[in-house]
Amino acid sequence: MQRHIWDFVSRFPLRSLWNLEGIPVRVIVKHTWRSLLDDNLAGRAAELGFYFIFALFPSLFTATSLLGMAARSASRIYYTLLGYLAIVIPHDALGTVLDTFNQTTVAATGGKLTFGLVAAIWSASVGFSAIQDSLNVVYRVKETRSYIAARLSAIGVTIILMVLITLMLASLLAADFFERICHVHIYHHFLASAAGIAVRGLAWLFAIILLSLLFAVIYYFAPDVKASNWHWLTPGSAVGIIGWILASMGLRAYVHFFNNYTVTYGGLGAVIVLLTWFYLTGLMLLLGAEINSEIEAVAAAKRLLLTEQSSLAKATAPDTSTHAA
């Protein structure tokens, strides 16, 4: 029966995951918790965390090479981006990233840029391949794509995700630029401040929309289901995004107020914190997918049950009339 339900989910996805069709939320929560344990999402999130950090430094190397070739004054842009990353990444872990930046930006060349870009895309695509495997487990489907097709799909989606992340950061940088213009050209202090706040608010709203789009792209392309519907925002992605923000803030607060990890890990403490942040990122991503899949499964079970009851009623109706005659 379970195999039939998941095959139905793979072939006939819901048009909207927000319409629970009368299914109680507690049922979804119960099924999600059970599947989270059965699918070993905690272990799979650790795997994703490793691949994320594996892809971080080639990506960082490419970014620093671009900055080094463009202009040394571009470092202001880099430090502005670090300021935004510091909102979610603990300070000590960010210091490790900064040290790597300072070491690699000294020797930025065209050849290293090309190598770094290829390495970044390949490393990140390996991480997306791990996401494909994890979401196949979540949706109870087997990978039917060939190795080449799956790798090409992973590389293509990785490029899309890189573009989305770049647009997110670019929108925040553009907000800083336009806020400065507001303060320069609007002489009334209150109006200038109001305009600056409005610009920043729009930039963050745009960044959140792009973040939801990033989740949507992953959830659409990663699992090897027979059919899939595009969902811009789903209950799973909403929980994943909110959970990721809260988990990042919680980790940052823990590291700030309980700075005792260096006693255990010594000089590797910052790396462990960074790995933990990537682990939480992978866990929230998989949790969102698990929620979506369980909504689909419970709804599919309900539809199959109604279909079976309807078929049974039609089959027994003639017998009943004959008996009555």
The model's pTM is: 0.81
Q: Please count the CA atoms within 13 angstroms of the CA of 185 that sit on its side-chain side.
A: 8
Q: Which of 55-64, 127-136, 151-160, 259-268 has the lowest mean pLDDT?
A: 55-64
Instruction: Please give the Cα distance from 124 to 249 (Å, whole number).
Output: 25
pLDDT band at 32 (very low <50, low <70, confident <90, very high): very high
Instruction: Please give the Cα distance from 58 to 122 (Å, whole number).
Output: 9
Chain segment 238-258, per-residue pLDDT in tens:
999 999 989 988 888 887 777
Chain segment 187-200, per-residue pLDDT in tens:
777 887 888 788 88
- Residue 92 pLDDT exceeds 60: yes
Residue 303, token pair as written in the block:
């539809």
pLDDT band at 71 (very low <50, low <70, confident <90, very high): very low
- Residue 73 pLDDT exceeds 50: no
pLDDT at 65: 53
- Residue 201 pLDDT exceeds 90: no
- Residue 278, judged by CB atoms within 10 A of its CB (0-12, 13-18, 19+), counts as buried
For residues 228 and 307, the model is more confident at: 228
- Report, as an integer, the average pLDDT of 11-30: 87
Instruction: Please give the Cα distance from 297 to 289 (Å, whole number).
Output: 12
Supply the mean pLDDT for the chain.
79
For residues 315 and 220, the model is more confident at: 220
Q: CB within 8 A of 215, min separation 6: which ones? A: 234, 237, 240, 241, 285, 288
pLDDT at 219: 93
